[in-house]
Amino acid sequence: MPWSGTASGWRPSTGPWLPKGRQRKQDQPAEQPEGVSGLQAVRLTRKWWGKQRRRGPSAEDSWKVDYDAPLAPLLEISFLRPEHLVALVEATPSGSRSRRRASQAAATVARALDWPDELVSQLRELGKGYSAARSHAPRDLPKDEAIEALIDRLSASWQWPVALAAVYGCRPSTPSAATVMWGP
């Protein structure tokens, strides 16, 4: 329970007690000035993100991929506004993983800067539509005849490596390392 000092000694504070990190917004002093640059916003977000929960050894990699990269366009902005976060998300293709990451990162910035919950909800809503299961659906592969025609058009030195990659799904570097065993 929070305690406050008085002339007669220490006593419990009369204000409402809330868990750490959930104090009422009006009771908290503003940590950042009214206007914040994109660079400051990303730094404050990084600091806020790190304090939200205990992070594992791969936290730095997660930050770089999921937050640092999507938030990079904000670094040049001298006065960050909510419209910048919305534009950041809308600049990515709808239903893509990059849009989902941008949405997550922008919503995290809005939360770290203590911007309205409506903005956070809007940013999260903009990022919806991506599904990892759908993105791994089978692709439209060319027919065997089309692959054979392509291989036939190649020079003789390229036909075997390309055929190997097409038939066995090898990476392009694999045929160069392969050796052909002739004879018994």
Residue 27 lies in a domain: no
- Residue 127 and residue 153 in one domain: no
For residues 96 and 18, the model is more confident at: 96
Residue 48 lies in a domain: yes
Q: What's the pLDDT band for 53 if we cut at 50, 70, 90?
A: confident
- Residue 118 and residue 154 in one domain: no
108 C-beta neighbours (distance < 10 Å), count: 22
Q: What's the pLDDT band for 110 if we cut at 50, 70, 90?
A: very high
- Residue 45 and residue 127 in one domain: yes
- Residue 51 and residue 122 in one domain: yes
Mapping DSSP to helix (H, G, I), strand (E, B) and coil, where does residue 3 land?
strand
Mapping DSSP to helix (H, G, I), strand (E, B) and coil, where does residue 12 land?
strand
- Residue 75 and residue 127 in one domain: yes
Q: What's the pLDDT band for 180 if we cut at 50, 70, 90?
A: low
Q: How many domains does the chain have?
A: 2
Kindly state the average pLDDT of the residues 157-180.
78
Q: Under a CB-based contact definition with an 8 Å cutoff, are residues 82 and 120 in contact?
A: no
Q: Under a CB-based contact definition with an 8 Å cutoff, are residues 123 and 85 in contact?
A: yes
